[in-house]
Amino acid sequence: MTEQAEEAEKTGHEVRRFGRAALRIASWTLVSRVLGLVRDRYMFGLFGKGPELGAFHLAWTVPNTFRRLLGEGALSAAFVPVLTQRLDRDGVEGARRSFGAVFGALLVVLVSLIVLLMIGTFALPETWLVDEEAPGYAPLLRTLLFVLLPYLGPVCLMTIVAGAQNVRGKFALPAVAPAVLNGIWIVAVVIAATRDWPLADKAVFVAGCVLIGGVVQLLVQVPGLFASGLAARPRFTLLDPDLRRVVKAMLPMLLGLSVLQLNTLITQVLAAFLIDTGAPSILFLGNRLLEFPHALLGVALGTAVFPLLSLLGGRGEHAEFRETVSRALGLGIFFALPAAAGLFALAPWLVDVLFRSGRFDANAAAEATTVTRVLSCALPGLISVQILARTHYALDDMRTPLRIAASLLFVAQGLNVLLAPRLGTPGLALSSAIIATINAVWLAIALLRRVGGEGVGRRIVTTLARATIASVPSALAAWWTASACTEVAGTSLWTRIGLLLLVPGVVGVLVFFAAARLVGARELAELGCRRVTPPDAGDR
């Protein structure tokens, strides 16, 4: 076997290893997302498309955006490479010191940020919040912001606790933590539904329980942190070199990696004031359905491959780095396309079965279906960005994602203002889909220029072609199955879930895998679904 073939086989083994890790993360994430859908169904059933739920989602967007910026964005992307390289050079003791310094600094920053945001909540001009069609909207929004802003603390601290576990190859507890929050949230909504309270009071009660859930989420991570061997007391020092590296890398990443999250926050605000107070809830619902496959694929792959990319980048093993990126991106795109096609095909049934109840009527469901279908077009771009942005960061390239993000942030707001008055809420969804796609393509072009093509471009094009060929019959099969089952599904919720969602979903997945095997998709081998061909023989 040639040296090149040996390197490819070694990299292939590593890719299959992180592929299996991604599957484990995706399995835990699936549980969390199912609970999340149950949670959202109860929320829409309790509040409908009313100002109370609109205020809740707008208030929730603020801490949730910071969670994504830090948890799935800047802090995680900056911290994991630094900790990985410190562990590789100085062992567990050196990594423990780095963890303590970053934890202490983050604790101080979070307390300060929460205090400033809470002060800002009461400093907002009343005229910015008043809605003449929804009396009481402004004071409710202030109250919900005041309750939900402290959620920033535990959920962002959990970021580096989870990152420390990931570096040591432990992914289960960080992946299962959202299920804890969703479970507490569901209980809160059920309790609120049984009480004879005004809807505004019910919204505040649920918000308080969400804050408690955030604290419990953090506590759940403690055993895993100690098991990783990296648990350490917070160190309040600015002199730690790894802390400085994290801060230096993190600042540009706040914009570079998380432009879509910043766009989400601004889009929610524009939805409330350019369209109506219920529009944020419709956007939230569409994004919730989009996040289901996004988390199972993009977040899982990005989380699993990032420590390996950081290690290879730190060691300067460029050939292995390029091959790992190629295969990881191929996996992401290969499964993103059928997921997007399936979401588009099953959107009417997903919205109707999961969310249409109580005050969430047929008109709201129709609007949410359109928004979901438009947002499904963003899925391949979103998943690719999860991998591509981290690839740049693993190479210590912070400027390229920053430059791209800064440009796209302005473009996104221009599209929002242009499309919202003409298309309503679907226009904002279309803007998000366009920006996600442009972001992914731009990042990919920049990466290829830096590390070289070496067959990467050809592999991605081949993957796109094979995935598209397999996705079309998969989506059609899922749509046909759901249509055929509609008349016999009845009114029972669980029967409808089984016949209109699970059965069509399983049919679509089976058709996709069968079609993928027929077209010789190599990506199935990366996950152990079929025998791996020798590296010299496959497309590379």
Query: pLDDT, tens digit, for every residue of 319-329?
Result: 788 888 888 88
Query: Greatest CA span in the chain, whole angstroms?
Result: 75
Q: Which of 16-20, 473-477, 482-486, 532-536 has the lowest mean pLDDT?
A: 532-536
- Is there a domain that residue 536 lies in? no
- Is there a domain that residue 540 lies in? no
Q: Which of 23-37, 205-219, 427-441, 500-514 has the lowest mean pLDDT?
A: 23-37
Q: Can you give the pLDDT at residue 370?
A: 93
- Is there a domain that residue 532 lies in? no
- Is there a domain that residue 2 lies in? no
- pLDDT mean over 72-76: 70
- pLDDT mean over 349-376: 86
Name the band, by pLDDT with cuts 50, 70 and 90, for residue 472. very high
Domain of residue 72, residue span: 18-526
Q: CB–CB of 464/335 below 8 Å?
A: no
Quote the CA–CA distance of 392 and 333 in Å, as a whole number.
18
Q: Can you give the pLDDT at residue 537?
A: 35
Name the band, by pLDDT with cuts 50, 70 and 90, for residue 131. low
Q: Which of 83-92, 257-266, 497-506 has the lowest mean pLDDT?
A: 257-266
- Is there a domain that residue 118 lies in? yes
Q: Which residue has the higher pLDDT, 91 or 66?
A: 91
Quote the CA–CA distance of 287 and 281 in Å, as a whole number.
10
Whether residue 136 is predicted with pLDDT greater than 80 in this model: the reply is no
Quote the CA–CA distance of 67 and 60 in Å, as a whole number.
11
Domain count, the chain: 1
Q: Which of 108-122, 240-254, 408-422 has the lowest mean pLDDT?
A: 240-254
pLDDT-above-70 percentage for the chain: 86
Q: Can you give the pLDDT at residue 438?
A: 92
Task: End-to-end CA distance of the chain: give it in Å, rounded.
Answer: 17
Q: Can you give the pLDDT at residue 530?
A: 47
Q: Can you give the pLDDT at residue 532?
A: 37
CA angle 339, 440, 505 (to 5 degrees): 0
Quote the CA–CA distance of 383 and 333 in Å, as a whole number.
7
Q: Can you give the pLDDT at residue 245?
A: 86
- Is there a domain that residue 35 lies in? yes
The DSSP letter of residue 238 is S
CA dihedral (21, 27, 32, 34) positive or negative: positive
- Is there a domain that residue 223 lies in? yes
Q: Can you give the pLDDT at residue 112?
A: 93
| Assessment of whether the complete model's pTM goes beyond 0.85 | no
Name the band, by pLDDT with cuts 50, 70 and 90, for residue 536. very low
Q: Can you give the pLDDT at residue 193?
A: 93
List of residues 6+ apart from 371 with CB closer than 8 A? 282, 283, 285, 286, 425, 426, 429
Q: CB–CB of 318/451 below 8 Å?
A: yes
Q: Can you give the pLDDT at residue 506?
A: 93
Whether residue 339 is predicted with pLDDT greater than 80 in this model: the reply is yes
- pLDDT mean over 39-61: 84
Question: Closest by alpha carbon to 429, among 417, 442, 416?
Answer: 416
- Is there a domain that residue 4 lies in? no
Q: Can you give the pLDDT at residue 4?
A: 52
